[in-house]
Each structure stands twice: as C-alpha cells, then as structure tokens.
C-alpha cells in the first residue's frame, strides 16, 4: 500500500467532519477508535512510513503528523465541550431544594448575663485587671463593717439584707460584691486592679424592675496617684465598650459609705440619661481598715447592676424574662452574641 | 423628703424665670436625687370657692346615703349640690367646684341632674383637688371667707419635689437644709430660717415653775432644751397655711400642738416633742432604760424596753423613747394646758438602736439617726414656743437647759492635696466659694486654708470629705478623663477559665443556660430524696417566701423547676444548664468574730473571719427532656437518653484534663438503676443518668427526663499536657467478644482489657452489646487497635496481646470468650 497525499487529506477531512458532527460522548468514544487510535487510517499510514525512502519519509511524516495533531486537537476540544454539556445535564437532574431545612440539633445559648460578664471580664483583663470572686454566703463583717457600714448606721438598713441562721454566725447573702474588694485588699498589696463580677442578694420582691437575686460587677483600683480623673477615664472606657462609641457619661454627687467622694454614673443612651451605677474614691476608713498605707496609695471603686445594664442595652422590658429561664429568651442570645 | 417650692421660695432668692425642671436639675447637680416632681394645681381651673353649708337634706332611698346640700357661696342665691360624703355638718366651710371648673384628670364640673335633683357643682375632697390621697371625706375648712377663691386659701398651686436624702446628710431633711443646697447649687442668695430674730425674744428664762431637765447619760445627748408653756389652747384649729405645708411635706396635720412641733421640724430639721407638763413627775431626765422594763408609746403599743434604750424619764417612770416616739401617758390631749417642749441633740447611734430594737422608724428618728444640728435645740424650741404663743394663746413660762457647750470644729485643708486627690487643679477661689456655700467659715490665703465647719455638718472630717464638697459644688464635669492600666498583669484564673469553657461547651451543643434563684422548699428537698450533706440546708431567717426558706445544696431543684416552667409553656425539647454555687451546712458554725474597723485586723482575726464563711462548691448541672436532634422532614429525631447524660458529664470532666472512672450509683433523685457516678482520684465528682420516675411524675416533667451534675470546683487543675508521640506505622485491629455476668459493667471489662493489652494498645471501642445470650449474662464486643512506632505489627504478635488482654478480663471480671 502506497501513501497518497490526497488520501491523507481525505482521512483528515472525514475525521474532522466526524468530530464536528459528534452529538455525545458515546459517539466520541467510537470516533476515538475510528480516527484517533492505533487502528485509525492515519495511524496505519504512519506505520507505513518505515518502508519509505528517507526523503519521502520525511515529507509524509510531516504531513501525517500535522494531520494527526489537528485531529487530536479537534477531538480534545470537542470532548471538553461535550463533557461540559453532559455534566450540566446530569447535575441538573440531581438538583435539590436547598432551602429544605437540614437536620438540626437543639439551639443552645449562654445566658445574656454570662455573655455580658464575659465581655466585661475581657475588657478589664485587657486593661491589666484580675477577676476576683468570692462567696455569695458571706461574713456580715466583710459585707458591712469593713465597708464602713457600722451596725447602727442607716446605710446598713438601706440594703434589705437576707440573714442566714444561726444568726450569731453573722452570715448574710452578700448585698453587693464589695466584700470581694475587702478580701482582695486584705489578701494582696497594692497596686490592685480587680474587677469583681458576681451574684448578689437583696430582699426585694420580683417585679418588672427588681429581683431579689441579681448580679453586679464592681471594679477596684488601688495604686499610687490614683485620682477621680482615673475613675472617670475608666468609666468612660467601660461605658463606650458596653453601649457604643457614641455613649456619653455623667457623674452626679451621691453617697456610699465606702467611697468619699461618691457619685452616681449615668449614661446617655437611646436619647435619655440612664442611671447606670455608683462610684467614688475609696473611703480612707476602708483603706485603713484593710491596712493600706493611705499616705502612699489612693483608689477608686465602681459598681453596676448587670441586669440593669442588660435591660438598657438590649431593651429588655421585664425582669421576669431575665430570671425565669425560658429557653426562648436565652436562645435568642445564642452562644455569644453581643 | 417632700419640699414645696412655695416654702423654699421664702429662703432662696430664685431667678425669676426658673422652671421646676431646672430646680430639679439644680438639686441633682449637688447630689440630691429628685424622685418625683408633683405639679399641684397644674390641671386645675376655677371657679373653686369657699362655701358654707346652709342645710343638708338626706336622700335615704338610695343604695348609699346621699345628701342634697344647700350652700352659701356669698352670692344672692344659694346653690344646691349632691354630695356622697358625710363628714360635715351645717355651718361647716367646704370647698365647692362650680360648673365650668376643671379638676385634675380633666374632670369638667357641670350642672347635672342626678338622684332626682339638680346638682349645681361639687363639694371637693383633697384627692379630687389633686392635693393628697385623702378621699375618705370632703375637705372641711377651719376658716375661710365665704365666696373667696379656695385654691388660693389652700395654696393649691405649688410644685412639690420629692427628694431622696442620703444618710450622711441629715441636715438636708429640712427646708433649711434643702434651701441652702438649692441656693448653693444655683449660686443665689440664701436666708437661713434659723437666723430669724426669734431667740432674742425667747431667752432662756430660769423659773421655778418650768419643768427641769438633766442629762444623766452623757453618751445619749449633749444638748437638751425644755421650754415650759402654760394656758395653751390646744383645741385651737391649726391654721390652713400650716396644715397645707405639713400636707405638702407628706405628713398629716393632727392637732395644733403636734402640728407646730412637726412644722418646726420640717422647717429646721430639729425633732421636738411636747409633753403634757402636768403628767411629768418632778423633772425630766435623759437616761438609759436600766430597770425600766415597759413603755406604752403614742401608737398604743406596749413595748418591752431593752436596758440600753435611751429614754426621757421623769423622776418615777419612762415617758418617751428618746428621739423616736413619745409615751402615751404624757401625751398632749385635748385637756392639756401646760406643755413641756423638748428639743435635744441626741446621739444618733443611740436613737438608731432605739429605732432598730423596736422596729419603729419615725420622722424624728430618721432625722436624728442621720444627725441633727446641735444648735437647733435652742432655736427650734424657741420657734415652736413662739408659734404656740401666737396660735394657741400660750404663755411662755421658762426653760431648762442641760448639756455641754457646742464645739466649733476647725480644720486645715490643703488645696493642692485636694487637687491631687481629685485630679483637677482647683483655684483658691473655687475652694473658698464652695466651702462657704455650705456654711463653712474659710480663712487664710495660701495652699493651707482654715475651715470652720458648721454645726450641722459633723460629716466633714477628712481631706476627702472636704474634697467631696468642693467637687460637687464645682461639678464633676470639670474633672478630666484618664485611663489607668493595671501593673501586675491581668487575666482569668484557672477556675474562671474552666467555668467559661464548660459553659461554652454545653451552649455550643444545644444547651441553654439558665440562672435560677437558690431558694428551695423543704418539700423539694424531701421530694428529691436528698440525704447526707445535701440534706444540710442553710435557712434564711427572713426569706422572700416562707415556702422556700432554704438555700440550695444542689442545682437540681432550680433546674427541675425551670424545666417544668418551660414545659408548661409548651416547649417539648429542652436542654438547660446552670453554673452556680451551692450551700451546705456541714461545718460547725461558731460565734462570728467582728473586729474593730479602725485598723487592719490581726492575721488571726482575718483567718477566723474567712474560716467562719462556709465553703461553697461550684456546680454545673443540666436537665434534658425530649429530642436533641430534632425530628423534621428527614425523619424522626434522636431523643436524649441516660447514656447521653453520662457522656456529657464525662465530656465536661475530660475537658478539664482529668482522668476519671465510671461506676454505677443509686443516688437520689436519679433512677436507681440508671445513674452513673463519675470519680476523679477516687472522689465522686459527677452524677448522671435518668431521673427517678417518681420525681418525674411528681414534678410533671416529660418521661425519661435526664440530668447530670458535675462539681466544677472539686476537679483538680490539670497538669500541662504532654504531647503524645504520633506513630505513622499502620494500626492492626483485633475484635474480641466476651461474655460476662450482667452485673459486671462495661467500664470494668474495658479497664481489664486495657490493663492486659500491653503498651502498644492504641484504643478500645465497645462496638456491640448483646443481652439475649442467656439469663444473667451479657456479651460485650470490643475492637482493640494496636500500633507500634517502628514496624507493622504481625497478626501473631497482636493475637498475643489480645489473649493477654482477655486473660486479665477473665481473671478480674469472669469474662469468657463468646463462642
């Protein structure tokens, strides 16, 4: 069998025509056998090259090679096209309604008081504070006497205290987290930078704005050269972090036995002033009672109700929602929403 | 304290156009919280007139008695109105709203037909006029001109500020004190009501007919004035202006003598007490109760006295609980003609004790507890005598005085120290001005000024006390803002980290956190079958609810109650958890140590205070009912069962880095056959499983409710993790099926296998459990996985390890290979 240039061109043309008209990948498989594989006319023609003279061999070799390359290229191109068509058709049949709900576990959530406490703890540990905690059933001495609230002082009855039997053991459910401040001052030496979050108790009936069991966070700083300016700066930072950059704060003179001067701190949020907490410079009597050298150190303290903070921040209308443990309430805050 | 603007106006020269809100803000700016502003008469429109009752016709045929009243209003024709009240008679003067008048609540008065008559107006009660809550009857006026404007007579139009007074500001429980503060805040002129020229006219007169006084207990009082008056017409009515002022301050007018003492107290802050001088035997004495054991007070309560109660006594008997309440026997009555008027500067603590020991808080005791001005005993008693003379026709007889001279206290205040303490540089002018505004006398011109403190400010003693005054009168807004940073390094400690981590762990797995009250009833303790330490509850002496006086010893009571509440609200699938302290009365409590607070207590005292506070363990607990993987269109969900509870408890223990073992338990309130106890270092740390069916049914909880509880605070802090070697050679697995008696636990078998399998054992997995193998027997099938660091283990080698593991299981658990 001799090689014929016209035949090569015919083979090339018919291969290209077959490829061009192929309708699917099955046809392409046959085309591969017929026009591309070892048994294709051009493959067979190629085998004949060996029997040719060198000049002819080079000439036909070039011709056949170019034809086969052109076929391969066309084949690959068509193959890619048809694969894409096939894929899109098949995947179309596997289409689902992705809006169908998936298998879901129960929705969990942290109590917003926990989320808030975590947020505050992170805020202050970032400022170099430690988090101090103490017992809820507390010594009356630490809860009152050490805080300059003597037995027969009207301030002692200002806070409606739960007393625990036997009475001569002088145990109370702490009315504030301030005894933790005293414990810290008795146990450590200045400089002291602590934040004290925790559960506190006062014998108020539960209603829309009161609860006998509530949460406070207090801060205490004892260091050299601590002034009310430091207190103000800390409160400004705290308020902005909790309520947003645009919040304003204001101090109003007030009275607490354990601070002098004392002030209430208000925040301007949602277009109104809201009482947020109390603060002041730690009363010298309290410092002296804890053995702190007042010629060298001064300090400030502040305290806020967390329920109140939550109510203001999240627009919670009724205290019942915070205390009742309805999972719908907790779930709405998720596992750590702000 | 409630203060009417009309009264403040007498002593403060307010700017002419100032509004009630601005006044309120001025009080707030200097530390007096205004709790309410009552704008009386704001919604009132006349004509409201003084009328005289001419005749009364009873209309008996109605359900309640109704009167048809003829009134003289000073015009030619009398007016007739229907009235439901009965506390008046013919010739009484009453307040009549005529048609066209508008009363608070927008009630428009018109002539109308009612009870078959034409009612041409309305006779008003105090409540209807919006001036008090008194609605038991209509107002009967002691005096007034017929046909005159009653709103003017009653001085209705006024603004009343209800002000919260902090306990360190006793002086402010008076018009005098609040007027001074308001004037200081607004920097306007203040006239001290105590500076009026009463005293010169009412000098202390020695007179044998005057009731004498002595202070026997010097710690109880340092100043007492007894002024004696006679020929008192106690039946004279209290003038309307005085009644109205007493009313506006939130007290009730009673009778002339009492009203005068109250009026003067409101004005000057000095409590006064009037004794019927004829009931005083010998002279008056300030003394402790001592052997006197009983006193009946004005409220007709027979009180058992405590020996250190501070009293006013006569020669024979106790007459009054000093500064707190008078005695009934020496009360001023309608037949009294001689009065001994007492004004004293009592010791605040003694009066606080009086008040506390008798649970008796009076207008007088509230003021004295917060400290009164010692100068006022003389002034207020004189002022009251003047009023008694003017209004009750009394004659001043003379006075007796006891006590010590009043000290003028002087301090040196360093302006630079105050400035350094506050963080703002005050000028000498600012300091002097603010201290003068509160009544101090300031002298000196350098850094160190001399301050003479007024007698009504015993609270001013230290640099910080003066600093507070300077700060509040110059405003907090001038102080700059500076953020200090801690110097010793901050952060959460291990337990705080653990608390946060386990809460997050459960929340991420579908548990909702709750925070329950720790108040528990005895019924709940009994129902849950708590015994041992969990039955040792602390009791609150004054609980909110008598039903739940106990403090929780465990988290389950609160969790189960909250679970029930959610179920009752229609929520079926629930997983809730709580982290909180529990309280167990397990140590012997001794009498508390209460050291002095003027210096640091000794280490021994501090230690005994700490030791006196019972340990309070921190728990995490959870209860679960229903599905945790929820049913939906995919198919049925997955319920939470006892073993899930055990797995969760284990997960928590594991997350703290502790090794543990699981044994079966029958601890109440769990199901006695479905409760696991998890031990760490041999100590029970957690319980988990299904609750007892009885508890579930009693509390109306969903069937098969599960619970677990872990004592977080008792879990040791884990050592730093040593990273394991990760071997890359292929693992070789061997399955083992063993038969054991059904009372042998899977954990025991697994532990035996683990101990026998040698150190190339990588893991054990229980993949099958089959209990249909014969009575009292169970088959447990495990996959043991082995791996070596340096080679692929041969089948023979692994078979050897497996056999060694089985041998231990056989020996310690009686396991046999399942054939």
Please state the rounded mean pLDDT for residues B567-580: 96
B310-313 and B294-296: which strand pairing?
unpaired
Share of chain B above pLDDT 70, in %: 99
Please state the rounded mean pLDDT for residues A24-33: 90
Nearest in space to B8 (alpha carbons), one of B180, B261, B188? B180
Nearest in space to B74 (alpha carbons), one of B111, B100, B47? B47
Helix (H) or strand (E) holding B690: strand B683-691
- Judging contacts by C-beta atoms under 8 Å, the chain A residues touching residue B485 are 127-128
Is the pLDDT reported for residue B578 higher than 60? yes
The enclosing domain of B451 has a CATH number of 3.30.56.10
Residues B416 and B396 in one domain: no
- Of the residues B403, B424, B448, which one is the last residue of a structural domain? B403
Number of H-type helices and E-type strands within chain B: 20, 42
Interface contact flag, A233 B481, Cβ < 8 Å: yes
Nearest to B485 among A127, A145, A205 (CB): A127
Query: Which of residues 428 through 467 in chain B touch A, CB cutoff 8 A?
Result: 462, 464-465, 467
Query: Which of residues 21 through 50 in chain B touch A, CB cutoff 8 A?
Result: 28-31, 33
What SS3 class is residue A138?
Answer: strand
Closest-CA residue of chain B to A284: B464
Q: Which two tokens stand for residue B587?
A: 């140590």
Say if residues B709 and B555 touch (Cβ distance below 8 Å): yes
Spatial distance between the Cα atoms of B658 and B721, rounded to a whole number of angstroms:
11
Tell me if B488 is assigned to some domain.
no
Residues B233 and B358 in one domain: yes
Closest-CA residue of chain B to A187: B606
Interface contact flag, A170 B476, Cβ < 8 Å: no
Spatial distance between the Cα atoms of A285 and A288, rounded to a whole number of angstroms:
5
* B322 or B85, higher pLDDT: B322
Look up the domain containing B210 and give its range: 199-403
Residues B266 and B391 in one domain: yes
Say if residues B343 and B381 touch (Cβ distance below 8 Å): yes
Tell me if B355 is assigned to some domain.
yes
Interface contact flag, A229 B479, Cβ < 8 Å: yes
Please state the rounded mean pLDDT for residues B481-500: 94
Tell me if B727 is assigned to some domain.
no
What SS3 class is residue B652?
Answer: helix
Residues B679 and B742 in one domain: no
Is the pLDDT reported for residue B480 higher than 90? yes
Nearest to B592 among A155, A170, A330 (CB): A170
Residues B251 and B218 in one domain: yes
Express each pLDDT in B34-73 by its tens digit.
999 999 888 888 799 999 999 898 887 777 888 989 989 8
Q: What 8-state DSSP symbol labels residue B669? A: T
Please state the rounded mean pLDDT for residues B388-403: 93
Spatial distance between the Cα atoms of B796 and B597, rounded to a whole number of angstroms:
78
Say if residues A240 and A248 touch (Cβ distance below 8 Å): no
The interface pTM score, or ipTM, of the predicted complex is 0.88
Spatial distance between the Cα atoms of B214 and B3, rounded to a whole number of angstroms:
35
Place of tokens 């073992």: B661
Tell me if B599 is assigned to some domain.
no
Which residues, at least 6 apart from B427, have a Cβ–Cβ distance to it below 8 Å?
Answer: none
- Judging contacts by C-beta atoms under 8 Å, the chain B residues touching residue A237 are 483
Query: Which of residues 532 through 561 in chain B touch A, CB cutoff 8 A?
Result: 538-544, 551
- Give the per-residue pLDDT at A93: 87
Q: Which two tokens stand for residue A228?
A: 């009310």
The enclosing domain of B637 has a CATH number of 3.30.930.10
- Give the per-residue pLDDT at B690: 97
Residues B452 and B539 in one domain: no
- Give the per-residue pLDDT at A42: 84
- Give the per-residue pLDDT at B525: 96
How many beta carbons lie within 10 A of that of residue B56, not counting itself?
15
Is the pLDDT reported for residue B201 higher than 70? no
Interface contact flag, B167 A105, Cβ < 8 Å: no
Tell me if B782 is assigned to some domain.
yes
> Each residue of A35-52: b (16+ CB within 10 Å) or e?
bbeeebbbeebbeebeee
Backbone angles phi, psi at B10, to 5 degrees: -65, -25
Tell me if B97 is assigned to some domain.
yes
Interface contact flag, A171 B592, Cβ < 8 Å: yes
Interface contact flag, B566 A227, Cβ < 8 Å: no
pLDDT band at A6 (very low <50, low <70, confident <90, very high): confident
Cis peptide bond upstream of B486, omega within 30:
no
What SS3 class is residue B405?
Answer: coil
Closest-CA residue of chain B to A325: B514
Q: Which two tokens stand for residue B437?
A: 């505004």
B498 close to A (CB below 8 A): no
Nearest in space to B273 (alpha carbons), one of B367, B179, B190? B367
The enclosing domain of B234 has a CATH number of 3.50.40.10
Domain count, chain B: 6
- Residue B438 CA, chain-centre distance (Å), reads 30
Is the pLDDT reported for residue B779 higher than 70? yes
pLDDT band at B445 (very low <50, low <70, confident <90, very high): confident
Residues B229 and B300 in one domain: yes
Interface contact flag, A250 B352, Cβ < 8 Å: no
Of A215-219, A333-337, B500-504, the one with minimum mean pLDDT is: A333-337
* C-alpha torsion A129→A131→A136→A141, nearest 10: -40
Nearest in space to B440 (alpha carbons), one of B416, B456, B462? B456
Interface contact flag, A326 B551, Cβ < 8 Å: no
Say if residues B172 and B183 touch (Cβ distance below 8 Å): no
Say if residues B413 and B449 touch (Cβ distance below 8 Å): yes
Is the pLDDT reported for residue B716 higher than 90? yes
Of A153-162, B110-119, B694-703, the one with minimum mean pLDDT is: A153-162
Spatial distance between the Cα atoms of A197 and A179, rounded to a whole number of angstroms:
12
Spatial distance between the Cα atoms of A325 and A320, rounded to a whole number of angstroms:
9
Name the minimum distance, in Å, from the CA of B228 to any CA of chain A. 33
Residue to mutate among A180, A228, A330, with most B CBs inside 10 A, is A228
Of A91-100, A184-193, A293-302, the one with minimum mean pLDDT is: A91-100
Spatial distance between the Cα atoms of B306 and B298, rounded to a whole number of angstroms:
18
- Of the residues B714, B748, B775, which one is the last residue of a structural domain? B714
pLDDT band at B200 (very low <50, low <70, confident <90, very high): low
- Give the per-residue pLDDT at A2: 65
- Give the per-residue pLDDT at A158: 58
Nearest to A158 among B167, B565, B589 (CB): B167
Name the minimum distance, in Å, from the CA of A177 to any CA of chain B. 15
- Residue B452 CA, chain-centre distance (Å), reads 37
Between chain A and chain B, the number of residue pairs with CB atoms below 8 A apart is: 327
Query: Which of residues 589 through 648 in chain B touch A, CB cutoff 8 A?
Result: 589-595, 597-601, 606, 609-610, 612-614, 616, 627-630, 632-634
Tell me if B461 is assigned to some domain.
yes
Interface contact flag, A229 B424, Cβ < 8 Å: yes
pTM tops 0.90, yes or no: no
Spatial distance between the Cα atoms of B468 and B419, rounded to a whole number of angstroms:
11
Tell me if B484 is assigned to some domain.
no
Express each pLDDT in A250-306 by its tens digit.
999 999 999 999 999 999 998 999 999 999 999 999 999 999 999 999 999 999 999
Q: Distances in Å between the alpha carbon of B464 and those of B467, B498, B632?
A: 5, 41, 67
Nearest in space to B46 (alpha carbons), one of B3, B109, B92? B109
- Environment class of B70 (CB within 10 Å of its CB; exposed 0-12, middle 13-18, buried 19+): middle
- Give the per-residue pLDDT at B195: 86
Name the minimum distance, in Å, from the CA of A199 to any CA of chain B. 9
- Environment class of B175 (CB within 10 Å of its CB; exposed 0-12, middle 13-18, buried 19+): buried
Interface contact flag, B487 A128, Cβ < 8 Å: yes
Nearest to B514 among A111, A142, A212 (CB): A111
SS percent in chain A: helix, strand, coil, step 5: 50, 20, 30
Name the minimum distance, in Å, from the CA of B550 to any CA of chain A. 9
Q: Round the average pLDDT of chain A to a whole number and report it.
A: 92
Please state the rounded mean pLDDT for residues A306-327: 95
Say if residues A29 and A86 touch (Cβ distance below 8 Å): no
Q: Round the average pLDDT of chain B to a whole number and report it.
A: 93
Nearest in space to B759 (alpha carbons), one of B796, B794, B789? B789
Residues B550 and B693 in one domain: yes
Nearest in space to B351 (alpha carbons), one of B293, B400, B308, B403? B308
Is the pLDDT reported for residue B448 higher than 90? yes
Of A141-155, A179-193, B10-24, B331-345, the one with minimum mean pLDDT is: A141-155
Please state the rounded mean pLDDT for residues A235-253: 95
Beta bridge partner(s), residue B678: B662, B686
- Give the per-residue pLDDT at A277: 96
- Residue B638 CA, chain-centre distance (Å), reads 47
Name the minimum distance, in Å, from the CA of B596 to any CA of chain A. 8
DSSP B184-253: HHHT--B--GGGSTTGGGG-----TTSPPEEES-TTTEEEEEEEEEES--TTSPPPHHHHHHHHHTT---
Residues B563 and B616 in one domain: yes
Name the minimum distance, in Å, from the CA of B457 to any CA of chain A. 15
Closest-CA residue of chain A to B511: A108
Give the distance between the most distant pair of CA atoms in chain B. Answer: 130
Which residues, at least 6 apart from A14, have a Cβ–Cβ distance to it below 8 Å?
Answer: A35
Name the minimum distance, in Å, from the CA of B522 to any CA of chain A. 15
- Judging contacts by C-beta atoms under 8 Å, the chain A residues touching residue B472 are 253, 261
Residues B577 and B699 in one domain: yes
Spatial distance between the Cα atoms of B155 and B45, rounded to a whole number of angstroms:
14
Place of tokens 């229980």: B766
- Give the per-residue pLDDT at B190: 96
- Residue A252 CA, chain-centre distance (Å), reads 35
- Give the per-residue pLDDT at B65: 81
> Each residue of B654-691: b (16+ CB within 10 Å) or e?
eebebebebeebebbbbbeebbbbbbbeeeebbbbbbb
- Residue A255 CA, chain-centre distance (Å), reads 39
- Give the per-residue pLDDT at B46: 79
Helix (H) or strand (E) holding A230: helix A228-243
Spatial distance between the Cα atoms of B623 and B216, rounded to a whole number of angstroms:
66
Say if residues B130 and B102 touch (Cβ distance below 8 Å): no
pLDDT band at A155 (very low <50, low <70, confident <90, very high): low
Residues B706 and B588 in one domain: yes
- Of the residues B427, B445, B478, which one is the last residue of a structural domain? B478
Closest-CA residue of chain A to B588: A169
Say if residues B372 and B198 touch (Cβ distance below 8 Å): no
- 3-state secondary structure labels for all residues of A58-78: HHHHHHHHHHHHHHHHHHHHH
Residues B676 and B570 in one domain: yes
The enclosing domain of B116 has a CATH number of 2.40.50.140
Spatial distance between the Cα atoms of A140 and A169, rounded to a whole number of angstroms:
9
Radius of gyration of chain A (CA): 42
- Give the per-residue pLDDT at B317: 94
Instruction: For CA atoms A276, A281, A282, A283, give the dihedral sign.
Output: negative
Interface contact flag, B600 A291, Cβ < 8 Å: yes
Hey, which bits of B517-617 come out as E strands?
519-520, 550-551, 574-581
- Give the per-residue pLDDT at B111: 87
């Amino acid at each position: 069998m001799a090689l014929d240039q016209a035949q090569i061109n015919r083979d090339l043309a018919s291969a290209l025509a077959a490829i061009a008209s192929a309708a699917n990948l099955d046809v392409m498989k046959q085309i591969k056998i017929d026009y591309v594989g070892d048994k294709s006319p051009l493959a067979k023609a190629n085998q004949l090259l060996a029997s040719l003279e060198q000049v002819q061999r080079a000439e036909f070799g070039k011709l056949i090679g170019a034809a086969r390359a052109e076929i391969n290229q066309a084949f690959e191109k068509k193959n890619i096209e048809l694969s894409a068509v096939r894929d899109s058709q098949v995947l179309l049949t596997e289409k689902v309604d992705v809006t169908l709900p998936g298998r879901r576990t129960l929705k969990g959530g942290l109590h917003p008081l926990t989320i808030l406490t975590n947020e505050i703890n992170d805020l202050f540990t970032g400022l170099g504070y430690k988090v101090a905690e103490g017992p809820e059933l507390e010594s009356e001495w630490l809860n009152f006497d050490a805080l300059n609230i003597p037995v027969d002082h009207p301030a002692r009855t200002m806070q409606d205290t739960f007393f625990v039997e036997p009475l001569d053991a002088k145990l109370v459910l702490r009315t504030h987290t301030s005894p933790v401040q005293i414990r810290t001052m008795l146990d450590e030496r200045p400089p002291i930078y602590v934040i004290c979050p925790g559960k506190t108790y006062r014998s108020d009936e539960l209603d829309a704005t009161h609860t006998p069991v509530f949460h406070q966070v207090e801060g205490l700083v004892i260091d050299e050269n601590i002034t009310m300016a430091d207190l103000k700066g800390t409160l400004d930072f705290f308020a902005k972090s909790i309520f947003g950059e645009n919040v304003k704060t204001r101090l109003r003179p007030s009275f607490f036995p354990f601070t002098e001067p004392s002030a209430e701190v208000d925040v301007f949020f949602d277009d109104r002033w809201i009482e947020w907490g109390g603060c002041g410079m730690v009363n010298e009597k309290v410092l002296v009672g804890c053995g702190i050298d007042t010629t060298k150190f001064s300090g400030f303290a502040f305290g806020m109700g967390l329920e109140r903070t939550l109510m203001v921040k999240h627009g919670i209308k009724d205290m019942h929602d915070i205390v009742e443990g309805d999972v719908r309430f907790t779930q709405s805050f998720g596992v750590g929403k702000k | 304290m409630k203060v009417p603007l009309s009264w403040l106006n007498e002593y403060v020269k307010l700017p002419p156009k100032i509004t009630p809100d601005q006044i309120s803000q001025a009080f707030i700016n200097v530390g007096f919280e205004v709790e309410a502003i009552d704008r009386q008469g704001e919604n009132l429109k006349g004509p409201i007139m003084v009328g005289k009752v001419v005749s009364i016709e009873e209309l008996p045929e109605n359900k309640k008695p109704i009167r048809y009243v003829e009134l003289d209003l000073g015009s030619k024709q009398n007016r007739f109105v229907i009235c439901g009240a009965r506390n008046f008679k013919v010739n009484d003067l009453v307040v009549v709203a005529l048609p066209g008048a508008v009363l608070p609540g927008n009630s428009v008065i018109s002539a109308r037909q009612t009870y078959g008559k034409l009612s041409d107006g309305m006779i008003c009660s105090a409540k209807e006029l919006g001036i008090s809550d008194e609605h038991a009857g209509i107002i009967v006026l002691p005096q007034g001109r017929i046909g005159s404007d009653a709103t003017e007579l009653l001085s209705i139009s006024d603004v009343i500020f209800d002000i919260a007074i902090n306990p360190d500001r006793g002086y402010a429980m008076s018009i005098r004190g609040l007027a001074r503060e308001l004037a200081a805040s607004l920097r306007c002129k203040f006239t001290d009501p105590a500076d009026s020229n009463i005293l010169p006219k009412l000098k202390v007169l020695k007179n044998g007919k005057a009731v004498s006084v002595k202070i026997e207990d010097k710690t109880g009082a340092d100043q007492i004035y007894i002024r004696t008056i006679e020929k008192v017409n106690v039946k004279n009515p209290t003038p309307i202006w005085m009644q109205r002022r007493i009313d506006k301050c939130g007290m009730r007018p009673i009778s002339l003598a009492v009203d005068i003492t109250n009026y003067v107290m409101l004005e000057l802050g000095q409590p006064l007490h009037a004794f019927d001088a004829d009931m005083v035997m010998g002279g008056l004495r300030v003394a402790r109760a001592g052997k006197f054991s009983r006193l009946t007070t004005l409220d007709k309560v027979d009180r058992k006295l405590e020996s250190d109660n501070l009293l006013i006594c006569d020669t024979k008997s106790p007459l009054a609980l000093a500064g707190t309440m008078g005695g009934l026997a020496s009360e001023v009555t309608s037949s009294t003609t001689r009065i001994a008027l007492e004004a004293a500067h009592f010791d605040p603590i003694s009066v606080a004790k009086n008040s506390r020991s008798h649970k008796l808080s009076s207008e007088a005791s509230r003021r004295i507890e917060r400290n009164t001005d010692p100068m006022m005993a003389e002034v207020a008693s004189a002022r009251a005598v003047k009023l008694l003379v003017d209004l009750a026709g009394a004659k001043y007889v003379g006075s007796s005085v006891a006590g010590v001279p009043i000290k003028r206290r002087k301090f040196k205040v360093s302006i630079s120290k105050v400035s350094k303490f506050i963080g703002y540089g005050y000028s000498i002018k600012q300091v002097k001005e603010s201290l003068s505004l509160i009544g101090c006398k300031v002298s000196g011109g350098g850094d160190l000024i001399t301050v003479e403190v007024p007698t009504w400010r015993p609270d001013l003693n230290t640099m910080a006390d003066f600093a507070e005054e300077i700060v509040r009168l110059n405003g907090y807004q001038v102080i700059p803002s500076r953020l200090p940073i801690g110097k010793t390094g901050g952060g959460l400690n291990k337990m705080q980290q653990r608390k946060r981590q386990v809460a997050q762990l459960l929340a991420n797995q579908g548990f909702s956190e709750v925070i329950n009250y720790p108040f528990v009833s005895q019924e709940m303790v009994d129902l849950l079958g708590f015994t041992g330490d969990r039955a040792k509850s602390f009791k609150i002496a004054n609980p909110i609810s008598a039903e739940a006086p106990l403090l929780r010893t465990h988290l389950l009571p609160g969790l189960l109650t909250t679970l029930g509440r959610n179920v009752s609200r229609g929520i079926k699938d629930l997983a809730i958890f709580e982290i909180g302290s529990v309280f167990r009365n397990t140590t012997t409590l001794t009498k508390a140590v209460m050291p002095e607070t003027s210096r640091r207590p000794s280490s021994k005292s501090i230690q005994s205070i700490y030791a006196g506070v019972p340990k309070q363990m921190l728990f995490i607990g959870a209860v679960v009912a229903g599905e945790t993987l929820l049913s939906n269109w995919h198919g049925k969900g997955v319920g939470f069962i006892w073993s899930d509870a055990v797995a969760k408890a284990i997960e928590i223990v594991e997350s703290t880095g502790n090794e543990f073992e699981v044994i079966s338990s029958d601890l109440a309130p769990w199901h006695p056959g479905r409760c696991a106890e998890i031990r760490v270092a041999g100590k029970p740390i957690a319980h988990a499983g299904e609750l007892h069916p009885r508890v579930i049914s009693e509390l109306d909880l969903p069937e098969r409710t599960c619970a677990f509880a872990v004592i977080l605070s008792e879990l040791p802090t884990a050592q730093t993790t040593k990273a394991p070697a990760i071997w890359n050679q292929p693992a070789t697995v061997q399955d083992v099926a063993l038969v054991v008696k059904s009372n042998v636990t899977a954990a025991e078998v697994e532990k035996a296998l683990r101990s026998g399998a040698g150190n190339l054992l990588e893991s054990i997995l229980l993949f099958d459990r089959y209990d249909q193998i014969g009575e009292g027997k169970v088959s447990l099938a495990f996959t043991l996985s082995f791996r070596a660091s340096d080679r692929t283990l041969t089948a023979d080698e692994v078979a050897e390890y497996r056999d060694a593991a089985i041998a231990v299981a056989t020996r310690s658990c009686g396991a046999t290979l399942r054939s």
